[in-house]
């Protein structure tokens, strides 16, 4: 049985920094219709070059979210 190729930590880290990883979380805790806690987080792990490449698009998305929230 052939074993799958294993990647070194350096290879994995290089790929993550090259492509980037985004974790977007929104959680709301309510009890009997009363909002107790809201958590919003966006975590971006990327190289500086990758982040700068996509920063303008990220800003456009955030502005659209703010505009949509203001209209609601």
Residues 6+ apart with CB under 8 A from 37: 27, 28, 29
DSSP 8-state class, residue 67: H
pTM recorded for the entire structure: 0.41
CA-to-CA distance for 71 and 69, rounded, in angstroms? 5
Q: Domain span at residue 47?
A: 13-71
pLDDT digits (tens, 9 = 90+) for 22-44: 788 889 999 888 889 998 888 87
Residue 57 lies in a domain: yes
How many domains does the chain divide into?
Answer: 1
Residue 26 lies in a domain: yes
Examine the pLDDT at 54 and tell me if it is beyond 80. Answer: no
CA-to-CA distance for 46 and 23, rounded, in angstroms? 12
Residue 4 lies in a domain: no
Q: Is the dihedral of CA 41, 25, 11, 15 positive or negative?
A: negative
Residue 44 lies in a domain: yes
Residue 6 lies in a domain: no
């Amino acid at each position: 049985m052939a074993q799958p190729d294993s990647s070194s930590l350096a290879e994995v880290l290089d790929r993550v920094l090259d492509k980037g990883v985004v974790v977007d979380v929104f959680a709301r805790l309510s009890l009997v219709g009363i909002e107790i806690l809201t958590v919003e987080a966006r975590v971006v792990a990327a190289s500086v070059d990758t982040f700068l490449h996509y920063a303008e698009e990220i800003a456009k998305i955030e502005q659209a979210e703010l505009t949509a929230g203001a209209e609601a």
